[in-house]
Chains A and B, each alone.
Chain A
């Protein structure tokens, strides 16, 4: 088990969002968390990435309490990309990706040949080598998202948490980003956890789906086990038909009508 949430209770202020949740992430898998708005999936991802401290329970990284580890050591193993990150204006792709090397640098040793090659490799993997000198603001949404993923890759971790990496992207760019995620998984065996809204893409690109509702895990397993008509009713309150995706063979959700509003 690479990453594990053991009885975590999470919240903001007085509000408890997730109460006593257990979840394990196996090494070398792509896990996608799905669920309706406000179900706590992003909150859970933030806790797994130690961006949010649990009120109760603990998050274990390779069997060790993540809170007890120096944050810089965690950053050498675990990369997190929050939802819709923003960069200062004028920052170039190469500069953004170079900042992914931050955990490997100290104030007296700012740049090494390791950093150099990690940045070059991250740019190549994301197909951004030719755009390296362009300011981020001049790129398309899909390219910009690839640049952020490239930064996370330059960090050199084999465990990546991505919070809605496809938000604000059109369908073609969503597929582009998810193909990149799949390559990272297949070629380098990285362990990836992400939050996605699109259920059909989630089913196509994940080994394992985790469906959440009201801060609890309702179902977890392979796409065929999780994405059923019954689960759509229970988790999304949606009457839907689930058929086989004619391209990938994975389950595909065709909505009919919401349960509550006939």
Chain B
């Protein structure tokens, strides 16, 4: 192959990546259709369409507009957020087993929710979500600050992981103490911990949307810097990358995305951990493609898991968090057994 033959090869790769992106988009659209039509009350596709375009107030119209659509929208948002956050987290820590919860975001949200109940008498779902978001942000800032104390010139993946584990354990202990003392807090915590996209109205979707949009923009801006960082901090610095700034943007994106997802849907295990491993064989090591692929796969996975949860145990439903853990755990074991997890 001559030097000039490199060019067509690169163009070929770009076209293939575009096709994969289109295929993943199609998969998400298919999952959206399933999520809108399948459930305790199946709605034919034509009726679902007319409910959206020309509602006449039938029972189907109400089911679609007030239940299925917000539920599906939240599933898409949370799936994208957790998939992208997982890929960012694994990229920044260079650890294939890193999870967005590593920054203490999940435990921060849980603690703030139960604390708001006993200290401030919070009552509504919307209030819990605001407190959850705030808790996630505060916990992440604490972890980042603690992680900075040990390292020279910015937190390193190791100090971040250590600080995250310590803060998470501390918050979990406080949360446990509170829910043992207060029954209402216990109920909210239990509901939250199982992880669900059901029963949240459109107001919840609008509430978390701006956080997720900002988080996604920051994530995409972060992608080229993350590519440089994946060669090691010294190489990245040599390539003119500002390490502290790149880490800061990345951590902010992970916090916003994960915080919005866990505050609104509860703890959804495995999405952030597994999805990047599904995306990587399609995207390679380039984060400019890995991040969008992870987002789309996350959305499709979350919606499909939610649909499965609606049909496996009629007349009841399984929460999507439970379904994800049930299919995610064996799936992850299979993934690890089939190939050793990649070195990042």
**Chain A residue, CB-CB nearest to B223:** A107
> Are B232 and A12 in touch, CB under 8 angstroms?
no
List 5 additional contacts besides A71-B237, A90-B285, A132-B9; criterion CB under 8 Å: A72-B240, A81-B235, A105-B224, A110-B224, A120-B7
In the complex, 16 of the A-B residue pairs with CB atoms within 8 angstroms, ordered by the A residue number, are A49-B238, A70-B240, A75-B238, A80-B234, A81-B235, A82-B234, A85-B231, A85-B232, A86-B231, A86-B232, A88-B342, A89-B285, A95-B284, A121-B3, A129-B6, A130-B1
CB-CB under 8 A from B237, the residues of chain A are: 50-51, 71, 80
**A21 CB to nearest B CB, Å:** 20
> Are A100 and B6 in touch, CB under 8 angstroms?
no
Q: Does B160 contact A (CB under 8 A)?
A: no
> Are B288 and A116 in touch, CB under 8 angstroms?
no
Number of interface residues of B (CB under 8 A): 36
In the complex, chain B residues 143-182 whose Cβ is within 8 Å of any chain A Cβ: 152-153
Number of interface residues of A (CB under 8 A): 49
**B294 CB to nearest A CB, Å:** 15
CB-CB under 8 A from A107, the residues of chain B are: 220-221, 223-224
In the complex, chain A residues 123-179 whose Cβ is within 8 Å of any chain B Cβ: 123-124, 129-130, 132-133, 152, 155
CB-CB under 8 A from B284, the residues of chain A are: 90-92, 95
CB-CB under 8 A from A242, the residues of chain B are: none
In the complex, chain B residues 227-255 whose Cβ is within 8 Å of any chain A Cβ: 227-228, 230-232, 234-235, 237-242
CB-CB under 8 A from A73, the residues of chain B are: 240
Q: Which of B2, B152, B227, B230 contacts A129 (CB 8 A)?
A: B2
> Are B6 and A120 in touch, CB under 8 angstroms?
yes
> Are B152 and A99 in touch, CB under 8 angstroms?
no
Bound state CA distance, A109 and B344, in angstroms?
26
**Chain B residue, CB-CB nearest to A46:** B234
CB-CB under 8 A from B286, the residues of chain A are: 95
Q: Does A87 contact B (CB under 8 A)?
A: yes
> Are A82 and B238 in touch, CB under 8 angstroms?
yes
Q: Does B10 contact A (CB under 8 A)?
A: yes
Q: Does A216 contact B (CB under 8 A)?
A: no
Q: Which of B2, B241, B343 contacts A102 (CB 8 A)?
A: B241
Q: Which of A76, A99, A121, A124 contacts B227 (CB 8 A)?
A: A99
The 5 tightest CB contacts between A and B, nearest first, are A75-B240, A80-B238, A72-B240, A82-B234, A103-B240
Bound state CA distance, A12 and B6, in angstroms?
43
